[in-house]
Amino acid sequence: MAEQKKFVESITPRDKDFTQWYTDVCMQADLLAYSNLKGFMVIKPAGYAIWENIQKNLDARFKATGVTNVYMPLLIPENLMKKEGELVNGFAPEVAWVTAGGTEPLTERLCVRPTSETLFSDFFAQDVHSYRDLPRLYNQWCSVVRWEKETRPFLRSREFLWQEGHTIHETAEEAEARTQQMLNVYADFLAEELAIPTIKGQKTDKEKFAGAEATYTIEALMHDGRALQSGTSHYFGSKFAEAYGIQVTGRDNKLNYVYQTSWGMTTRVIGALIMVHGDDSGIVLPPHIAPTQVCIIPIQQKKEGVLETAAKIAASLSAYRVKVDDSERSPGFKFAAQEVSGIPLRIEIGPKDIAAGKAVIVRRDTREKIECAIGELPVRVGEELERMQREMLERATAHLAKHTFAAHNAEEFEEDFRETKGFVKAMWCGDRACEDKIKEMYGVTSRCIPFRQEEIAGTCVCCGKPAKKMVYWAKAY
């Protein structure tokens, strides 16, 4: 078992130093490598395969709602970027500027897209003429660049991969409904595929997207009790339409501005997967999203019939994503390799098992060992994958519930953030000043004003004035 220890020893225990554990796990599971440019990462095959599965699943969900994919330019002329004041003020401090093309300086700076509202708006202005052309429901998969100061793999990097959806509509109601619809797509995707429960709600004015009238968010809770914003959906009203001249002839035969939305999800959710489900042996991937769902590990593989049986089992499991580890490494090494990379199930098969006509299934999350007749594996593996998927969501949901606290007053609020980690629900008067003060005092931010409001008290937890909304607060990534 010396080799198995090697993996495990190189991972800092999760409860000792969560930050170091996270980095160790990313590296040991071979998800990425640092490039020689700060904040830019190389996503390695194991990491990229997770992203490919996320893309495939999300893309199908988008298309089921009528969205089609397009591609917009990578670079944005400065004057185009500047047309909408709030957006440019929000992003200007963190964009990368191209100033030369080939051997000649450019007459106008171009920024590497940090997000593409400006490009879509400029395009929409030419693309639609009549209310009959609406809605336009577009999405693109691409990378964006934001010159962040602090960077961490997947969670915050200067370049990241994402999708950005951009839609325009005839009415405010329709655009608002689309904003909510896409937030629900994100929440369903996280729950059903990533086994991550989230809180749905609206961002405060302070935390909303630059240029948005309203930003909706799904907030997930990591194992260490910190929150991660996992997907956002923005309602712009006609703000961009007015700045970029997106008008259509309406049913009233007059020129009307359109109503606009955008929504995005990024490679950051890979960080969420790791921090919600991972343990001291590595990452744990929910079966629905795992690039490999089952790893078959032959024991005493040189003995007659072992590799043949392993291959037959693999063939019988063709409905799942299966691999056989028939490398020259020891079973102990293979177990550790399968565990660190989070493959949901492993099947151990050796001469004794074969003689008894059975195999052993081991679940990655619980380590539960399940004996199973070889002929029953195709059915049993399917059942266990679904059971694991379900139980991972249940455990994450229980963790979220256990680490969500209600603070009825300032004392409880302080106590919650001094003694525990997680979400704290508390009433808020709606004033920016209280939001700022809470951040300053406790280092926590308002995560969202949840759609499911509760009246846990009548007054603001900060100033004691009459409360308007219940807010989720937390330390966040």
- Could you list the residues that contact a second copy (CB under 8 A)? 33, 35-37, 40-45, 48-49, 51-52, 68-77, 80, 92-103, 110, 112, 119, 122-123, 126-127, 138, 142-143, 145, 147, 158-159, 161
Rounded Cα distance, 156 and 134, in Å: 35
* Type of residue numbered 8: V
Contact residues for 145 (Cβ-Cβ < 8 A; gap 6+) = 95, 96, 112, 113, 114, 158, 159
Rounded Cα distance, 223 and 402, in Å: 11
| Minimum CB distance to a second copy smaller for 44 or for 421 | 44
Q: CB 161 → a second copy: shortest distance, Å? A: 7
Q: CB 390 → a second copy: shortest distance, Å? A: 30
| Minimum CB distance to a second copy smaller for 33 or for 433 | 33
Q: CB 95 → a second copy: shortest distance, Å? A: 7
Rounded Cα distance, 153 and 40, in Å: 9
| Minimum CB distance to a second copy smaller for 164 or for 353 | 164
Q: CB of 251 within 8 A of CB of 131?
A: yes
Rounded Cα distance, 164 and 140, in Å: 6
Q: CB 392 → a second copy: shortest distance, Å? A: 26
| Minimum CB distance to a second copy smaller for 1 or for 142 | 142
DSSP code of residue 120: H
Q: CB 39 → a second copy: shortest distance, Å? A: 9
| Minimum CB distance to a second copy smaller for 38 or for 390 | 38
| Minimum CB distance to a second copy smaller for 158 or for 223 | 158
Q: CB 139 → a second copy: shortest distance, Å? A: 10
Q: CB 145 → a second copy: shortest distance, Å? A: 7
Q: Which residues of 79-116 are buried (b: 16+ CB within 10 A; e: fewer)?
A: ebbebbeebbebbeeebeeeeeeeeeeeeebbbbbbbb
Q: Supply φ then ψ for residue 255, to 5 degrees.
A: -80, 125
* Type of residue numbered 11: I
* Type of residue numbered 274: I
Rounded Cα distance, 471 and 421, in Å: 16
| Minimum CB distance to a second copy smaller for 144 or for 434 | 144
| Minimum CB distance to a second copy smaller for 66 or for 443 | 66
The Cα-based distances of 185 to 63, 156, 234, 402, 417 in angstroms read 11, 23, 14, 25, 32
Q: CB 172 → a second copy: shortest distance, Å? A: 25
